[in-house]
Amino acid sequence: MIIEAILLTVITASTPLVIAAMGELVTERAGVLNLGVEGMMIIGAVCAFAGAQLSGSALIGVGTGILGGAVFSLLFAFLTLTLVANQVATGLALTILGLGVSGMLGESFVGVPGVKLQPIALPLLSEIPAIGPLLFRQDIVFYLSILLVVGVNWFLFRTRSGLKLRAIGDSHGSAHTLGIPVIRTRYLAVLFGGACAGLAGAQLSLVYTPQWVENMSAGRGWIALALVVFASWRPWRLLAGGYLFGAVTIGQLHAQAFGIGLPSQLLSALPYAATIVVLVIISQNRRTTLINTPASLGKPFVPDR
């Protein structure tokens, strides 16, 4: 029972990382570097909590969280794709803006009991010993995260539209010459990434911790960004990496509960230390990194130049 409880918490902790990172993977495959994932996640979290509280429905809360993240991402898209602002600076600015705006919007919800998104038990499958409760008695956001991985993998590598999106990420100039609408495709990719970040934020305030706490994203947006690099821009690798980082996050919590003789601050820093270690290891294999990195990532595109 203890192992089952730990695995359940690992799944819950990993789900927002997988969702946010999957949205960023599509965005980066289109050649856009969005460092505002953290800000979009926290906006999604506060919008989801507010929507659930005001409507009394957690599902409506999920919808408002997705909408909040998507709308916030449009601001990033307008600044970087239409006004051709620097993508790194704009992403960092929107993260700071998102943290501030979410704190203002959520001020009246601090300490208010949340509306929890209830799990869905799939008939028969949920009764399978051991794996039934883990995989088939989860909330709808978990199922959406798995569908996202399958859907994004199919879209990127099995469809003409996915091929065009990857072509834009690899060489936006050549794609434009071939008549592929670069700016429109990138707008849609950024919008999808923002919606995913909003969904990840909704999971935080409606499932992981069903209440509103300021800055509750707690750096998960940055971990999601690192996950994309960790996975070499591959959806299935990203799923595995998301659960690995989720396990590290939950592992440090259980280590503190068991009274392991290490400072609690050090244990709390483990997920972020693991992120740095993984990025350092990946950077050693420069050939693999160069092969998989979209060549136009972070580069502005102006059609008439």
Residue with tokens 């980066």: 28
Note the pLDDT of residue 140.
94
List, in sequence order, every residue forming a beta bridge with 78; answer none if it has no partner: none
CB 65 within 8 A of CB 201: yes
Give the orientation angle of helix 140-158 with respect to helix 160-170, to 10 degrees.
80
Note the pLDDT of residue 230.
85
Helix (H, G, I), strand (E, B) or coil at 39: helix
Query: What is the tens place of the pLDDT at every residue in 114-138?
Result: 889 888 888 877 788 778 888 888 9
CATH code, domain with 62: 1.10.3470.10
Q: How many domains does the chain have?
A: 1
CA pair distance 285, 233, nearest whole angstrom: 15
Note the pLDDT of residue 273.
76
* Residue 236: inside a domain: yes
CA pair distance 69, 122, nearest whole angstrom: 29
* Residue 297: inside a domain: no
* Residue 83: inside a domain: yes
* Residue 188: inside a domain: yes
Transcribe 4-36 into DSSP letters: HHHHHHHHHHHHHHHHHHHHHHHHHHTT---TT
Angstrom CA distances, 242 to 13, 31, 74, 207, 226, stand at 9, 22, 26, 17, 10
- C-alpha closest to that of 199 among 22, 56, 74: 22
Considering the chain, what percentage of its residues have pLDDT values greater than 70?
89
**Domain housing 132:** 2-115+127-292
* Residue 304: inside a domain: no
* Residue 36: inside a domain: yes
* Residue 302: inside a domain: no
Segment among 145-149, 181-185, 232-236 with least mean pLDDT: 232-236
1: pLDDT confidence band, cut at 50, 70 and 90?
A: low
Higher pLDDT, 31 or 129: 31
* Residue 121: inside a domain: no
